[in-house]
Amino acid sequence: MAAAAAVVARSSSLSKLRPILRSFASSAASDDNRILTIETFVPFTGHLIDPPSRAVDTTPAEILSFFRDMARMRRMEIAADSLYKSKLIRGFCHLYDGQEAVAVGMEAAITKRDAIITSYRDHCTFLSRGGTLLEAFAELMGRRDGCSRGKGGSMHFYKKDASFYGGHGIVGAQVPLGCGLAFAQKYSKDASVTFALYGDGAANQGQLFEALNMSALLDLPVILVCENNHYGMGTAEWRAAKSPSYYKRGDFVPGLKVDGMDALAVKQACKFVKEYALANGPIILEMDTYRYHGHSMSDPGSTYRTRDEISGIRQERDSIERIRRVILSHELASISELKDIEKEVRKEVEEAVSQAKKCSMPDQSVLFKDVFVKGYGAETFGSDRKALSAALP
């Protein structure tokens, strides 16, 4: 009887406590979503357009998600570097560490109905579109559980259900494709836009200007995003372009220069250009960013720039450290809490690598699947290569 009475007493106490707990949880959730207005680190610079305000509206939840997402991306790329050196990743591999704020800030301003198409430095954009670490590492290692079934590798990540159309290996070739996506969006009248990303190394490609000209004539909702990390392979921008002000290169098309190491600035800029493109047509967005690794894994990245330059960017402009300072200055989390997040992220990445290593390689029977149109693939001709060759035009 005494035990039963104690249970009843505890139940009564809990019933009195529940409204308080609900109120506390509601208050915490409300606190996470309160509006913070934070000024960007540097102003925007416009060409033929007035730039947006430096005052960016955000929330504690969003700021903390930026920190976690960028930390996850950074850790993923560091792990990819190690896997490549261990020969578990073969072929080409282009890392994005340093440029994470572009992927995270862009995603915060748009929806999954808006399309993104990019170059071969695509791992982090895939994550920002909702891809998983397992899919990323499996693809990097050529496993069948990868986002492109292990057949694309580092340069050809893909996630159609989130309007992410790759990952392209031909320098600048993704820009005309992006303009084509924007043409489809305008034709469908679905109020979405396309972000076509390219680097400063691709900014002098003729196809870029041809596609931009057609997009301007047709008022297509496309944003050409130049991720200016200042080195096209090993060539500094000033050695490759007479005018390295890429946001002005559209001449008749407006442009906006953005601090691409500031996730909040990227968010503000992408929201601004999306609204512009829907109403007026194409616009150029130059992201002033920086990559810490070399161009690819065969490039040490230190023969054409000094180590002091790289460490200086890390100390003064690193996107993760900037967000860390914002979090600490607004007391959104403590130093130890942020370290715990980084430990969790490291564990997530390690577990994903371990799982990806266990994934099987694609079967040889799918060698021609998704390559040829129906009727010209291996499923039609089997292993008869002579018949297959004879059937090809």
Mean pLDDT of 189-206: 97
Assess whether 354 and 390 both reside in one domain: no
For the chain, where are the alpha helices, taking DSSP H only?
A: 2-32, 60-85, 100-109, 123-128, 133-140, 174-188, 206-218, 237-240, 263-280, 307-317, 319-329, 335-358, 378-381, 385-391
Q: Tell me the average pLDDT across 166-183.
A: 97
341 and 242 belong to one structural domain = yes
The count of other CB atoms within 10 Å of the CB of residue 135 is: 23
Task: Name, in order, each residue with C-beta under 8 angstroms of 110's C-beta and a sequence gap of 6 or more.
Answer: 193, 195, 270, 271, 274
pLDDT for the residue numbered 187: 97
Q: What is the dihedral of CA 340, 341, 342, 348, to 10 degrees?
A: 110
Whether 269 and 383 map to the same domain: the answer is no
Torsion sign over Cα 333, 337, 343, 349: negative
Q: What is the CATH number of the domain that holds 161?
A: 3.40.50.970
Q: Which of 65-79, 157-171, 231-245, 367-381 has the lowest mean pLDDT?
A: 367-381
Task: State residue 370's pLDDT score.
Answer: 79
Same domain, yes or no: 230 and 276 = yes
Is 28 domain-assigned? no
pLDDT tens per residue across span 288-316: 999 999 999 999 999 999 999 999 999 99
Residue 302 is assigned to a structural domain of this protein: yes
Residue pair 291/230 in contact by the 8 Å Cβ criterion: no
Q: What was the pLDDT predicted at 31?
A: 82
Instruction: Give the mean pLDDT of the chain.
Output: 91
Tokens, residue 361: 């390689």
How confident is the model over 129-146, as a mean pLDDT?
98
Task: Determine phi and psi for 325, rounding to 5 degrees.
Answer: -65, -40
Residues 288 and 390 in one domain: no
Specify the number of domains making up the chain. Answer: 2
At residue 126 the predicted structure's pLDDT band, cuts being 50, 70 and 90, is very high
Q: Residue 22 corresponds to which tokens in the numbers above?
A: 């609900």
Percent of the chain whose predicted confidence (pLDDT) is above 90: 84
What pLDDT was estimated at residue 366?
87
16 assigned to some structural domain: no
The answer to whether residue 2 sits within a structural domain is: no
pLDDT band of residue 371 (cuts 50, 70, 90) is: confident
The count of other CB atoms within 10 Å of the CB of residue 37 is 9
Exposure string over 317-346, b if 16+ CB within 10 A, otherwise e: bbbbebbbebbeeeebbeeeebeebbeebe
Tokens of 321: 């450290």
- CA distances 351 to 137, 345, 346, 347, Å, are 11, 10, 9, 6
249 alpha-carbon distance from chain centroid:
24
- Within this chain, do residues 257 and 389 fall inside the same structural domain, yes or no? no
Same-domain pairing of 344 and 376: no
At 267-284, the pLDDT tens digits run 999 999 999 999 999 999
Do the beta carbons of residue 288 and residue 316 sit within 8 Å? no
Domain holding 372, by residue range, is 364-393
| Average pLDDT, integer, range 184-193 | 97
pLDDT over 80 (residue 123): yes
295 with 377, same domain? no
Single pTM value for the model: 0.88
DSSP state at residue 53: P
Integer Cα distance of 295 and 301 in angstroms: 7
With respect to residue 358, please indicate whether it lies within any of the assigned structural domains: yes
Task: Examine residue 388 and state whether it is found in any structural domain, yes or no.
Answer: yes
User: Does 21 fall in a domain?
Assistant: no
Please indicate, yes or no, whether residues 55 and 121 belong to a single structural domain of this protein.
yes
Regarding whether 256 and 116 lie in a shared domain, the answer is yes
Question: Can you give the pLDDT at residue 263?
Answer: 98
Residues 77, 158 within the same domain: yes
pLDDT band of residue 10 (cuts 50, 70, 90) is very low
**Greatest Cα pair distance in the chain:** 90
Q: Provide the pLDDT for residue 368.
A: 82
Which two tokens mark 209?
């200007």
- Band of pLDDT at residue 367, cut at 50, 70 and 90: confident
- Give me the pLDDT at residue 40, please: 98
Quote the strand ranges of 142-265, DSSP E.
Answer: 194-199, 222-228, 231-232, 235-236, 255-259
As a whole number of Å, the CA-based R_g of the chain is: 24
CA distance 253 to 212: 8
Looking at the fold, whether 323 and 391 belong to one and the same domain comes out as: no
Q: What's residue 365's pLDDT? A: 87
- Let me know if residue 20 belongs to a domain: no
